[in-house]
Amino acid sequence: MFTGIIQGEGRVVEKRAAGGGMVFCLEAGFDLTDPEEGESIAVNGVCLTARDISGRRFLVDVSPESLSRTGLGRLENGGRVNLERALRLSDRLGGHLVSGHVDGLGRVEERKAVGDFTLFTFSFDQSLARYVIEKGSITIDGISLTVNSCSNNSFSVSIIPHTLAVTTLGRLQQGDQVNLEVDIIGKYVEKLLSVQSENQDEGSNINPAFLAEHGFLS
């Protein structure tokens, strides 16, 4: 689990095909203190397993599934990525709960300066629209951000100078693609409500009135 607060950038040292997927050698732009072989690390918002850790360098295996759903396959040697190590239970939750499981790709439709801030507008697949709400959270290339406004196929976010300087957002231009992860809480709520609806349709006795009567709801 992650928070979407980027610890720093990394760069692609090498990439190669392997077993239908790919292996990346990455170098972090910060010290990997207390590295643990096999630990999870988010690379542009994709949860991957770090192995063969040596100093600031480590390898990650990227499966065919991850290549098909994310933009990792388009990274080139020397390319920059956002890195975040997994959350400890004692850490501050500065962003929001991020699983590192990308839901789809977005595309930069517009980038413009608004005072000291930078306003990005992204388009995305309409199937994700129900999870994106105004003032809600969304993860872009691993970065926890707040949605300014949204429609059925686009949303905008306002980026502060610090975030622009310490992440790959500063390099994004119109037409670039990004990895998107919607707020996981919305997906769980949707699933629970759909199961509840199915149970009611089948004549189940478990409904809001039943739960309230037995102390599960106030």
**DSSP character string of 157-210:** EEE-HHHHHHSGGGG--TT-EEEEEE-HHHHHHHHHHHHHHHHHHTT-S-SHHH
- Record the pTM: 0.87
Q: Which pLDDT band holds residue 202 (cuts at 50, 70, 90)?
A: low
CATH of the domain at 77: 2.40.30.20
Stated as kind and residue range, the H or E segment containing 143 is: strand 143-150
Same domain, 198 and 181: no
Q: How do residues 144-193 score in pLDDT, each as one tens digit? A: 999 999 999 999 999 999 999 999 999 999 999 999 999 999 898 888 88
pLDDT in tens, 81-105: 999 999 988 888 899 999 999 999 9
Same domain, 113 and 138: yes
Q: What percent of the chain has pLDDT over 90?
A: 81
For residues 42 and 100, the answer to whether their CB atoms sit within 8 Å is: yes
pLDDT per residue over 99-118, tens digit each? 999 999 999 999 999 999 99
Position with higher pLDDT, 196 vs 63: 63
Side chain identity at 155, as an amino acid letter?
Answer: F
Q: Which residue has the higher pLDDT, 72 or 90?
A: 72
Residues 201 and 215 in one domain: yes
Contact 169, 141 (CB under 8 A): yes
| Number of domains, the chain | 3
Residue 98 falls within a domain, yes or no? no
Same domain as 196, residue 170:
no
Q: Measured in Å, how far apart are the chain's first and last C-alpha atoms?
A: 30
Residues in contact with 198: Cβ distance below 8 Å, sequence separation at least 6, in sequence order: none
Q: Is 174 helix (H, G, I), strand (E, B) or coil?
A: coil
pLDDT, mean of residues 49-68? 97
218 confidence band (pLDDT: 50, 70, 90): low
Q: Is the pLDDT of residue 198 over 90?
A: no
Give pLDDT, residue 211: 64
Mean pLDDT for the chain? Answer: 92
Q: Percentage helix, strand, coil, to 5, in the chain?
A: 20, 40, 35
Domain that holds residue 205: 186-218
